[in-house]
């Protein structure tokens, strides 16, 4: 018999036992649903992570720090390298001003900016209350949701505050804060003479930002100043202390056209620890891949269970159609064609189950994506379930092959039936 004829015959056989076919297909569909949804969640998670990293870092940016001791337990050997002690003999090495100069001299480095540890007492403005302040230096590579003004070319006498700070400081709207003066009050470090000295730094509000789902930090408590302004705050607070001029990390920007990994290799050879945006994404992707693998494992377990269902269904089919098989053989159907018939029936079951499961997963994804985005307050247009046609097709094809494999034993049993004995069966 021709392959097309056998395929049609297999389809007719399954239609004759619709209930059994549908139930067996649904068993496979559970696995197809789980695997397809897992692949979509993995693709969506990786895309969202990539969006976050690209919104917060520059592809030419590296975060550099001293290489730390790999062994965190037990006493650590003393080193003249500047460090911060956390008790119990554990300390974290810092970058010194000499390190910053050394890094800046590396070929391919465009700029180096130390990450300043800024200690600000409070923020206020004339006639307003005082509020605790956490200040960071502005990073143009990060994506901010400006609701008034902007941070482009932020001058040293300008500041960016969050919408919550604008409201707390008495501005009716974010736009009212633009161009107004706010003050940061910085105290000298405790071990600096004279004690309790403090200084007021005045700035003009250049921009107001609101919560941004793609930002590493919350827009609700953000105060940003220029790198030079950050250095001025740091100098006043830390000058005269033993830790002045030492930094936990530095932000290095590679020159345009220079491979950032080449700069990373140069930094590594000098004994520094450097991470690129790609390294950060790889770490996040590894975590997502592990979770995805766990979910796919549950789907594979469901598929494995359904394999026994296919075998059972096919064996029952062989027993019920023994006379029919005998008649087909008596009329000249070859053993190979009989075996192929039952394998194709199993393939049809796998196709139906895979198509039902994958299709249902896509339908659930279309409905669930807006709900997930709303619950997690994701940016508009962000989907955490991304379905790729190629992945869905691979799942369906894979389940067809698994089903064919499950149908091999029943197919062999059918092919080996003696036509005379089969015709005698009642």
Q: Write out the DSSP string of 83-94.
A: EEE-STT-EEE-
Of 276, 309, 342, the residue that ends a domain is 276
CA distance to 46, 82, 191, 245, per residue, from 242 (Å): 43, 9, 9, 9
Q: Are residues 340 and 397 in the same domain?
A: yes
With contact defined as beta carbons under 8 Å apart, do 338 and 415 qualify? yes
Q: And the tokens for 406?
A: 């499950």
CA distance to 58, 78, 93, 114, per residue, from 65 (Å): 17, 18, 8, 10
Q: Are residues 27 and 163 in the same domain?
A: no
Q: Which residue range is the domain that position 369 belongs to?
A: 3-54+282-424
Q: Are residues 345 and 371 in the same domain?
A: yes
Q: Are residues 77 and 131 in the same domain?
A: yes
Q: Are residues 94 and 40 in the same domain?
A: no
Q: Residue 132 burial (CB < 10 Å; 0-12/13-18/19+)?
A: exposed
Q: Are residues 262 and 297 in the same domain?
A: no
**Running DSSP on this structure, what letter comes out for residue 220?**
G
Q: Are residues 124 and 271 in the same domain?
A: yes
Nearest to 343, CA basis, from 423, 420, 417, 413: 413
Q: Are residues 219 and 175 in the same domain?
A: yes
- 394 φ, ψ (degrees, to nearest 5): -65, -40
With contact defined as beta carbons under 8 Å apart, do 111 and 252 qualify? yes
Length of the chain: 426
Q: Are residues 333 and 416 in the same domain?
A: yes
Q: Are residues 44 and 116 in the same domain?
A: no
Nearest to 62, CA basis, from 260, 194, 241, 316: 260
Q: Is 195 helix (H, G, I), strand (E, B) or coil?
A: coil
Taking only the tens of pLDDT, the chain with its 426 residues reads 677 777 777 777 777 777 888 888 888 999 999 999 999 999 988 888 877 777 667 778 888 998 876 655 556 565 666 655 555 555 678 898 899 999 999 999 998 989 888 889 999 998 899 999 889 888 776 777 889 998 888 999 999 999 999 999 999 999 999 999 999 999 888 666 666 688 999 999 999 998 765 555 544 467 999 989 999 999 998 888 888 888 989 989 899 889 999 999 999 999 899 988 888 778 788 888 888 888 899 888 888 888 888 888 888 887 777 777 777 777 778 888 788 888 888 888 999 999 999 999 999 999 999 888 888 777 777 888 999 999 999 999 999 999 999 888 888 888 887 777 767 665
Domain count, the chain: 2
Q: Are residues 174 and 97 in the same domain?
A: yes
Its sign, for the CA torsion 269, 270, 275, 278, is: negative
Q: Are residues 410 and 325 in the same domain?
A: yes
pTM: 0.66
Of 210, 245, 276, the residue that ends a domain is 276
Of 234, 254, 276, the residue that ends a domain is 276
> In whole angstroms, what is the distance from residue 419 CA to residue 415 CA?
10
Which helix (H) or strand (E) segment is 409 a member of? Answer: helix 408-415
């Amino acid at each position: 018999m021709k392959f097309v004829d056998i395929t049609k015959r297999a389809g007719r056989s399954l239609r004759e036992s619709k209930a059994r076919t549908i139930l067996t297909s649904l068993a496979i569909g559970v696995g197809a649903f789980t695997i397809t949804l897992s692949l979509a969640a993995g693709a969506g998670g990786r895309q969202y992570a990539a969006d976050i990293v690209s919104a917060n870092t520059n592809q030419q940016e590296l975060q550099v720090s001293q290489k730390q001791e790999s062994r965190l337990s037990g006493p650590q050997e003393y080193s003249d390298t500047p460090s911060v002690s956390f008790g119990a003999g554990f300390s974290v090495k810092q970058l010194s001003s000499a390190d910053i100069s050394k890094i800046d001299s590396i070929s391919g480095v465009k700029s180096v900016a130390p990450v300043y540890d800024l200690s600000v007492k409070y923020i206020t403005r004339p006639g307003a209350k005082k509020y605790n302040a956490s200040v960071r230096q502005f990073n143009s590579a990060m994506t901010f949701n400006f609701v008034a003004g902007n941070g482009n070319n932020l001058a040293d006498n300008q500041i960016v505050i969050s919408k919550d700070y604008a409201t707390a400081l008495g501005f009716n709207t974010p736009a009212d804060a633009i161009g107004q003066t706010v003050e940061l009050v910085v105290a000298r470090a405790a071990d600096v003479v004279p004690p309790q000295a403090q200084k007021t730094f005045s700035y003009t509000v250049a921009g107001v930002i609101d919560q941004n789902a793609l930002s590493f930090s919350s827009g609700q408590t953000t105060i940003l100043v220029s790198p030079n302004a950050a250095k001025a705050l740091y100098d006043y607070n830390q000058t005269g202390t033993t830790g002045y001029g030492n930094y936990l990390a530095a932000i290095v920007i590679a020159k345009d056209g220079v491979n950032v990994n080449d700069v990373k290799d140069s930094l590594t050879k000098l004994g520094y620890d450097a991470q690129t945006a790609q390294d950060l994404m790889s770490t996040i992707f590894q975590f997502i891949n592990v979770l995805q693998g766990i979910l796919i494992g549950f789907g594979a377990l469901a598929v494995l269970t359904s394999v026994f269902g296919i075998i059972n269904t096919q064996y029952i089919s062989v027993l019920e159609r023994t006379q029919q098989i005998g008649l087909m053989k008596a009329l000249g159907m070859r053993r190979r064609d009989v075996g192929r018939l039952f394998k194709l029936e199993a393939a049809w079951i796998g196709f139906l189950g895979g198509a039902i499961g994958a299709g249902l997963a896509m339908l659930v994804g279309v409905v669930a994506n807006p709900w997930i985005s709303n619950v997690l307050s994701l940016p508009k247009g962000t989907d955490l379930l991304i379905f790729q046609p190629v992945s869905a097709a691979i799942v369906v094809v894979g389940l067809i092959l698994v089903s064919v494999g499950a149908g091999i034993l029943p197919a062999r049993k059918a092919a080996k039936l003696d036509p005379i004995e089969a015709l005698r069966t009642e």
